[in-house]
Homo-oligomer: A and B are copies of this chain.
Amino acid sequence: MPNTKPTVEVCFAPPLYEYKLTQENYITVVVDILRASTSICTALYNGANKIIPVPTVDIASTYIGTGYLIAGEREGIKLDIADLGNSPTQFTKENVMGRSIVMTTTNGTQTIEMAKTADQVAIGAFVNISILAEWLIAQHTNVVIFCSGWKNKMNLEDSVFAGALCEKLLANNEFENICDSVSAALDLWSIARRDLNHYINKALHNQRLTRMGFEDVIPYCLSNDLAPVVPVLKDNEIVKA
Contacts and interface: CB of A to CB of B under 8 A. Distances in A.
Contacts of A183: 156, 202-203
Nearest to A156: B180
Contacts of A204: 179-180
Interface in A171-226: 179-181, 183-184, 187-188, 190-191, 202-205
Interface in A153-170: 153-156, 159
Interface residues of A, number: 29
Contacts of A16: 13, 15-16, 152-154
A151 interface: yes
Q: Is the interface of A mostly helix, strand, loop or mixed?
A: helix
Interface string A15-29: 110111100000000
Contacts of A153: 16, 19-21, 179-181
A12 interface: yes
A125 to B, nearest CB: 18
A17 B70 CA distance: 34
Contacts of A20: 153
A180 B152 contact: no
B151 A180 contact: no
Contacts of A202: 183
10 contacts: A15-B18, A16-B16, A153-B180, A154-B180, A154-B184, A159-B184, A180-B203, A183-B203, A184-B184, A187-B191
Given A159-B180, A180-B204, A187-B191, 13 more contacts: A13-B16, A13-B19, A19-B152, A150-B180, A153-B181, A155-B180, A156-B183, A156-B184, A159-B184, A179-B204, A180-B205, A183-B202, A188-B188
